[in-house]
Structure 1
Amino acid sequence: MTIATNQYAALTEETAIALAKSVYPFPEGAELSSREIGDGNLNYVFRITDSASGKGVIIKQALPYAKVVGESWPLTLKRAETEAAALLKHGEFAPGLVPEVYATDTDLAVTVMEDLSHLKIAREGLIAGESYPKLSSDIGEYLARTLFHTSDFALHPFEKKRLAAEFSNPELCKITEDLIFTDPFFDRETNDFEPQLRLAVEAIWNNAPLQLEAAKLKYSFLTEAEALLHGDLHTGSIFASAEETKVIDPEFAFYGPIGFDVGLFLANLIAQGITRTGEGRKVITDHIAKTWETFEGTFSALWEAEGVEAFKNTPGYREAILEKVFSDALGFAGCELIRRTIGLAHVKDLDGIEEEARRIELKKQALELGETLILNRRTIKDIGAVVRLAEGEAR
Structure 2
Amino acid sequence: MTVLNPLIYQPLNEKTAIKQALDLKLFPEDADLTCKEIGDGNLNLVFHIVDQKHNQGIIIKQALPYAKVVGESWPLTLHRAKIEADALKTFGQIAPDYVPKVYYTDDQLAITVMEDLSHLSIARKGFIQGETFPLISLHLGEYLAKTLFYTSDYGLGSGAKKEQVQKFMNPELCKITEDLIFTDPYFDAETNEFEEDMRPAVEELWKDEELKFHVNVLKKIFLTDAEVLLHGDLHTGSMFADNQQTKIIDPEFAFYGPAGFDIGQVFANLLFQVIVNEKHRDVFIQHVETVWNVFQVQFSQLWEKENKEPLANTTSFLHYHLAKYFEDALGYTGCELIRRTIGLAHVADLDSIQDEQTRLAAKQKTLELGKNLIKKRKEIRDLSEFIRTVKEIV
Q: CA deviation at 1:96?
A: 1.4
**8 Å contact from structure 2 (residues 31, 54) kept in 1:** no
Q: CA deviation at 1:343?
A: 0.2
Give 3-state SS (helix, strand or coil) of 2:328's partner: helix
| 2:347 equivalent in structure 1 | 347
In the TM superposition, 1:82-231 aligns within 5 A as 82-231=83-232
* CA separation of 1:162 and 1:313: change in aligned 2, threshold 3 A: closer
**8 Å contact from structure 2 (residues 303, 313) kept in 1:** no
* CA separation of 1:313 and 1:166: change in aligned 2, threshold 3 A: closer
In the superposition, the TM-score normalised over structure 1's length comes to: 0.97
> How far apart, CA to CA, are the structure 1 residues paired with 2:77 and 2:244?
36
In the TM superposition, 1:31-110 aligns within 5 A as 31-110=32-111
Deviation track 1:295-330 (CA, whole Å, cap 9, x = no partner) reads: 111100000110112323334110011000000000
> How far apart, CA to CA, are the structure 1 residues paired with 2:37 and 2:391?
39
Deviation track 1:255-309 (CA, whole Å, cap 9, x = no partner) reads: 000000000110011112100215x101100000000001111100000110112
| 1:276 equivalent in structure 2 | 277
Give 3-state SS (helix, strand or coil) of 1:239's partner: strand
1:294 lines up with 2:305 in the alignment: no
Give the AA of the match of 2:362.
Answer: L
| 2:320 equivalent in structure 1 | 320
| 1:375 equivalent in structure 2 | 375
> How far apart, CA to CA, are the structure 1 residues paired with 2:229 and 2:193?
31
| 2:3 equivalent in structure 1 | none
Q: CA deviation at 1:158?
A: 1.4
Percentage of identical aligned residues: 56
Give the AA of the match of 1:80.
Answer: A
Q: CA deviation at 1:6?
A: 6.6
**8 Å contact from structure 1 (residues 274, 393) kept in 2:** no
> How far apart, CA to CA, are the structure 2 residues paired with 1:61 and 1:274?
35
> How far apart, CA to CA, are the structure 1 residues paired with 2:25 and 2:275?
43
The number of aligned residues is 389
Give 3-state SS (helix, strand or coil) of 2:247's partner: strand
> How far apart, CA to CA, are the structure 2 residues paired with 1:202 and 1:267?
22
> How far apart, CA to CA, are the structure 1 residues paired with 2:147 and 2:328?
17
Q: CA deviation at 1:200?
A: 0.7
**8 Å contact from structure 1 (residues 281, 391) kept in 2:** no
> How far apart, CA to CA, are the structure 2 residues paired with 1:35 and 1:91?
26
| 2:12 equivalent in structure 1 | 11
> How far apart, CA to CA, are the structure 1 residues paired with 2:315 and 2:152?
20
Residue ranges of structure 2 left out of the alignment (5+ in a row): 1-5
Give the AA of the match of 1:57.
Answer: I
Give 3-state SS (helix, strand or coil) of 1:7's partner: coil
In the TM superposition, 1:320-339 aligns within 5 A as 320-339=320-339
Give the AA of the match of 1:374.
Answer: I
Aligned-residue CA RMSD in angstroms?
A: 1.1
Residue ranges of structure 1 left out of the alignment (5+ in a row): none
Deviation track 1:331-360 (CA, whole Å, cap 9, x = no partner) reads: 000000000000000000000001001100
Give 3-state SS (helix, strand or coil) of 1:102's partner: strand
> How far apart, CA to CA, are the structure 1 residues paired with 2:26 and 2:75?
35
Q: CA deviation at 1:24?
A: 4.4
| 1:242 equivalent in structure 2 | 243
**8 Å contact from structure 1 (residues 210, 371) kept in 2:** yes
1:362 lines up with 2:362 in the alignment: yes
Give 3-state SS (helix, strand or coil) of 1:58's partner: strand
Deviation track 1:357-393 (CA, whole Å, cap 9, x = no partner) reads: 1100110000000000000001111122222232333
| 2:303 equivalent in structure 1 | 303
> How far apart, CA to CA, are the structure 1 residues paired with 2:234 and 2:313?
31
Give 3-state SS (helix, strand or coil) of 1:364's partner: helix
> How far apart, CA to CA, are the structure 2 residues paired with 1:294 and 1:345?
29
Q: CA deviation at 1:154?
A: 1.2
**8 Å contact from structure 1 (residues 311, 317) kept in 2:** no
> How far apart, CA to CA, are the structure 2 residues paired with 1:14 and 1:390?
49
Give the AA of the match of 2:263.
Answer: V
* CA separation of 1:313 and 1:163: change in aligned 2, threshold 3 A: closer
Q: Which moved more, 1:306-315 or 1:168-177?
A: 306-315
> How far apart, CA to CA, are the structure 2 residues paired with 1:54 and 1:287?
34
**8 Å contact from structure 2 (residues 222, 257) kept in 1:** yes
| 1:266 equivalent in structure 2 | 267
> How far apart, CA to CA, are the structure 2 residues paired with 1:177 and 1:60?
25
Give 3-state SS (helix, strand or coil) of 1:316's partner: helix
Give 3-state SS (helix, strand or coil) of 1:349's partner: helix
> How far apart, CA to CA, are the structure 2 residues paired with 1:202 and 1:16?
47
**8 Å contact from structure 2 (residues 233, 262) kept in 1:** yes
**8 Å contact from structure 1 (residues 23, 102) kept in 2:** no
**8 Å contact from structure 1 (residues 24, 102) kept in 2:** no
